[in-house]
């Protein structure tokens, strides 16, 4: 009773699976891909399923626009700009080379149209116009990009422009690009929907989405291509099948077809050999624990966040969960107080650990309750 660490095994929910599976067959190695670097990650858990040179600094080309989009989405969320803001197109934006939305100098274009022109048409001109509207200049906007990158933990990235045109000080990694991509999907689903648009028309010019995955895989809904001679062919993909979403990042492929087939191979590998489950929803009780010296004797506890697990396909029956708490529970206890961790194991190996919190308050009990609990603890 007085042990400082108590573990309670929770198997009830996880054992609802009809049959306990035997050990799953060994997962084969990921496909061999012709690219400078790549990464495949599960959206819900952050578990990396395949990677090569994921932390090598590489030129991102137009993958830079994923970071540009994130900054603009944050500005929208904070109320600093609006989708219907009319942006005056500068000569600098109009003259920007490479892929274009075909905005014209001196005209006014809405933030929403500029975002679609950047996301769907990969418009370098749209990226510059957005940067100038948000921050006043490309240089000031790049400072915003780097500030958000640091906040997101993108420790191997540095941005100098919003469109990815070559610059010796512009670089990122497959892991960092995956991080900002996941942030967009999680924080801004209403804007992420634009990444699956098949085409966009502006100024009577219709351009298709450059992402080949949208035409090759019905489960794909993003994200962005990129190319410069130095960077090679790049592609960030995301697809959702049932309740599982994967994000792939491929950088430095030798051809457009190679980046498409390699990205699809990565996604198919992940979906074929791994499965992802939400085991416990946030805020739902998983156990009722004894509380001493409180107005009530038991406390409902649950995870502070959704508990997901990414496992080899067929391993569901080998999952188990346990509660680890750091001390016995004594009142008063506030709602949300951390009382330990919910730990999920796969075949005895720790898979994930999530804070376990009090789902209700337990006020301090009266003298009679305290005296009773004191006697119970003595004997």
Domain region containing 59: 53-210
Question: Is 240 annotated as belonging to a binding site?
Answer: no
Residue 273, in any domain of the structure: no
Kindly state the tokens that stand for 163. 């469109």
Asked if residue 115 has pLDDT above 70, the reply is: yes
Does residue 300 share a domain with residue 201? no
Q: What confidence category does residue 25 fall into, taking pLDDT thresholds of 50, 70 and 90?
A: low
pLDDT value of residue 375? 84
219 in Cβ contact with 242 (< 8 Å): no
Cα–Cα dist 171/61, whole Å = 9
Asked if residue 313 has pLDDT above 80, the reply is: yes
Does residue 85 share a domain with residue 15? no
| Strands 37-42, 244-253: pairing kind | antiparallel
| Domain closes at, from 160, 175, 210 | 210
Question: Which burial class, exposed, middle or buried, applies to 227 when counting CB atoms under 10 A from its CB (0-12, 13-18, 19+)?
Answer: buried
What kind and span of H or E run contains 144? helix 138-152
335: helix, strand or coil: coil
> What would the pLDDT profile of 208-240 be if each residue is shown by its tens digit?
999 999 999 999 999 999 999 999 999 999 999
Does residue 204 share a domain with residue 67? yes
Does residue 81 share a domain with residue 167? yes
CATH, residue 312: 2.60.410.10
Residues with catalytic roles: 62, 65, 122
Question: Which burial class, exposed, middle or buried, applies to 240 when counting CB atoms under 10 A from its CB (0-12, 13-18, 19+)?
Answer: middle
Cα–Cα dist 67/82, whole Å = 18
Does residue 165 share a domain with residue 105? yes
Taking 3-state DSSP, the helix, strand and coil percentages for the chain, each rounded to the nearest 5, stand at 30, 30, 35
Q: What confidence category does residue 10 fall into, taking pLDDT thresholds of 50, 70 and 90?
A: very low
Please state the pTM of the whole predicted model.
0.89
Residue 266, in any domain of the structure: no
Asked if residue 376 has pLDDT above 90, the reply is: no
Instruction: Provide the number of structural domains found in the chain.
Output: 2
Cα–Cα dist 206/96, whole Å = 19
Residue 46, in any domain of the structure: no
Cα–Cα dist 195/206, whole Å = 16
Cα–Cα dist 92/3, whole Å = 68
């Amino acid at each position: 009773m007085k042990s400082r660490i108590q573990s309670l095994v929770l198997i009830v929910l996880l054992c609802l699976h009809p049959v306990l599976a035997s050990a799953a067959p060994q997962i084969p190695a990921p496909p061999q891909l012709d690219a400078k670097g790549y990464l495949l990650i599960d959206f819900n858990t952050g578990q990396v399923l395949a990677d090569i040179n994921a932390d090598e600094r590489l030129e991102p080309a137009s993958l830079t626009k994923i970071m540009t989009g994130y900054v603009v989405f944050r500005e929208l969320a904070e109320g600093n700009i609006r989708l219907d803001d009319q942006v005056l197109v500068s000569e600098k934006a109009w003259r920007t080379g490479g892929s274009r939305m075909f905005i014209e100098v001196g005209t006014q274009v809405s933030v929403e149209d500029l975002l679609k022109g950047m996301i769907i048409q990969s418009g370098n001109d749209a990226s510059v116009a957005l940067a100038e509207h948000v921050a006043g200049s490309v240089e000031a906007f790049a400072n915003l990009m780097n500030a958000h990158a640091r906040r997101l933990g993108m420790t191997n990235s540095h941005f100098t422009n919003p469109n990815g045109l070559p610059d010796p000080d512009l670089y990122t990694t497959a892991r960092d690009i995956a991080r900002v991509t996941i942030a967009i999907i999680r924080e801004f689903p209403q804007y992420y929907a634009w990444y699956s648009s098949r085409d966009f028309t502006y100024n009577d010019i219709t351009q298709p989405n450059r992402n080949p995955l949208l035409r090759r895989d019905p489960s794909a809904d993003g994200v962005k291509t990129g190319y410069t001679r130095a960077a090679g062919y790049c592609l960030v993909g995301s697809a959702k099948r049932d309740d599982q979403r994967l994000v792939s990042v491929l950088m430095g492929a030798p051809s457009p077809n190679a980046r498409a087939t390699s990205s699809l191979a990565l996604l198919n590998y992940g979906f074929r050999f791994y499965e992802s489950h939400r085991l416990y929803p946030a805020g739902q009780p998983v156990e009722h624990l004894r509380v001493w010296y409180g107005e009530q004797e038991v406390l409902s506890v649950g995870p502070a966040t959704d508990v997901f697990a990414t496992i080899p396909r067929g391993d569901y029956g080998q999952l188990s969960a346990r509660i680890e708490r750091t001390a016995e529970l004594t009142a008063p206890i506030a709602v949300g107080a951390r009382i330990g961790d919910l730990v999920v194991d796969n075949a005895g190996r720790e898979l994930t650990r999530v804070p376990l919190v009090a789902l209700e308050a337990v006020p301090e009990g009266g003298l009679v309750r305290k005296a009773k609990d004191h006697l119970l603890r003595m004997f």
